[in-house]
Structure 1
Amino acid sequence: MARTHLPAPYHYKYIAGNGIYIIGAHTDSPCLKLKPVTKVSKGGYLEVGVQTYGGGLWHTWFDRDLAIAGRVIIKEQKDGSESYSHRLVRIEEPIMRVPTLAIHLDRDVNDGFKVNKQSHLAPVLATSVKAELNKSAAENGSVETGSPKHHSLLLQLIAAQAGCAPEDICDFELQACDTQKSVIAGALKEFVFSGRLDNLCMSLCSLKALIDSSSSESSLEDESGIRMVALFDHEEVGSDSAQGAGSPVVLDALSRITNSFSSDTKLLPIAIQRSFLVSADMAHALHPNYMDKHEENHQPQMHGGLVIKNNANQRYATNAVTSFIFREIATKHKLPVQDFVVRNDMACGSTIGPILASGIGIRTVDVGAPQLSMHSIREMCAVDDVKHSYEHFKAFFQDFSHLDAKITVDI
């Protein structure tokens, strides 16, 4: 591979074999994704067939105002020939809803609301009567006759957002999403109420930290490593995909960067040994109504700063060295930091941290901002912890290479 020459001053200190300092997070969240065939008609209603993605709290999806967002594959005409492209679409207004059953028809519902994911979660799009009356002049017939796989009404709504004709939609990857916007809330405006905090909060904080820590020439003059943010899809379903943390993308990036500055293949293992990964994924704040669900000495609090996650069975990749480094950065910048381990009698979740640590051999610490209602359609965290996370990540980028040079341990 040819040597890459970077413009001054961005290669003052870096040489091939130096470390790469990464904050890794994921961008996906549990949701309802549209099936390849979405057309469902039952009891005089047009419904949309969906499949569950990840481990969501599915009862929270009932009685919410839902829209659709995602990617659409479009057929186009260019210079007299067909071509194909993809477009991102989001229908802003609520077009669907998953209604609950009235308590009069299920008197025991408050003793246990059990969701059948196949039969109970299909959102209602319209009634058949109104759909019939709303015939499209272009189709010159019922909205039900446009596609064997999808309601024509649904295709019309998607096409309007994509700026194309319904018949030009070749395929799509779409998901249902809540239309309620994120807000700063609580009696003292101390909380963020939002969907998908897990894990867009960590994605945002890491990206802003990377940008702000590298925004001036002086901030990089003494930097001997490479600063990187890696955002992955499919964490909620195991990370085994081309876009997931189980793919070779990070190892490829480390290899390409190192080999761009030297053809010596022995330098890549050295670079990996000198590198460091912060696996950033939201953490469980102590719930005041379920305090027995937390281990008594490890109860992360709102406003308490980033949580360092530990697990003896390697569900998190943190060890004494990596936690010390991250904690030492917090101490220097007077930032709060907390610890978490799951109770011994409960199962522990996991993150991209162990996947990348085991696949690459990179030093890793697992951290995250504390939140409540994780995997609900509507989650909450503290405003202060968003600020703490950003400042901690920024300090990591700025200070890691200097701190790491002072540490002598056998990894």
Structure 2
Amino acid sequence: MKKVFFAAFFVLIFFVSCSNNSKEDIYGGFDDEDADQSESTDEDRQPIERPDEAGQPGGASGNESGNPDGSSGSKDDDNAGNDDETEPENDDENGNDGENNETQDGDSGSGGEKPDENGEEDGVYALEPDVGSCTSGIPSDSEKKRVLDRINYLRSIHKLSPVVYDEKDDEVAAECALVIAANEQLSHTPDSSWECWSQVAYDGCSSSNIHIEMASYDISSTNSADIVDGFMTEEYQAEPKNLGHRRWLIDPWLTHIAFGRADYYDGKYFVIGSAIKLINDDDGSDDISDSDIKFVAYPFENYPQELYNDNVMMSFTVIKDKIGRYYNGTGIDFASATIAIIDPDNKAMKVKNIEFDTQRYGVPNNLRWYAEGIKPNVRYNVTVSNIMINNNPEFYQYWFELK
């Protein structure tokens, strides 16, 4: 397993999740949707391990910096819907922010095996971007494969079908990454005032998970698979969190992705803009009745330890209807739901800050919480009870162990 250290004098990274621009607003809520559930109960907090760099509230533009039309499930405060993620700047004397990020990357084409950490060494790009001249680049086949393999490795843990790489979306992902790097900021709706703007870039940013990283040192060796991990943990997403990036990546109806990246040096900072195109008009309506999946939980079964720490939320999504993704946004009520996490000594772990919503980030229902005292190499049994499905109480059980 490869150790990745995020170090240096100055580091910023931003993550923003997205939703279907043809059907949904940028936060995943439909204009006519009134089924969004908002609730948060108080229990006790602590999540899991895996730092992904930083963000700043200014990563969004337009309505992205405010609340979505669908409210968040938080009793404590009502500033939901901002899916920018924030990490503080780090400049300790050793140039190390103290976070050890382990990432499996490399060659697991099928998605069912842990990716080989060696990977292929043919560079980040097949076509180098030139941000100064507004020319996008194309990642190398091996870099695309690292991203695809990491996504499929994680999906396989959740018992989800692998996705494929769709090269027809290379251009929109690349142009989105280009405008992010050129403007050193994030938006799902960049306008024509942005440097290097194009309609293709807009289309890419409005249908992708997007990311920016800035540092005072050369970050061109950044492994693109780490970007996937950042979207999964949502560690620096603003509170209250909606976990939009994660929900898109482990959506049972997701079928194909594309990846864009642009590295740039502005004379002061090194910048990486990137986009994972995953909001697709042809996803979401397939019948997946042949699947055994009944829910998507995080973390689940034997789970990579680097994807959980005290700033990461656990989550649970019900799959009650396999005819289509958006049939899972109604008839599900989390208001009375309870979560029990039991260790091998039959001790109940503390749970806090339960939140939920039915916003359309992938499957349109999500229950999430923080748990306290979780340790690696310990198997925990989880029971989620009193979820009302079409007015009938249901419970679900599963286990996880951080490896």
Give the TM-score of the pair, scaled to structure 2: 0.25
Tell which structure's C-alpha radius of gyration is larger: 1
Query: TM-score, with normalisation over the residues of structure 1?
Result: 0.25
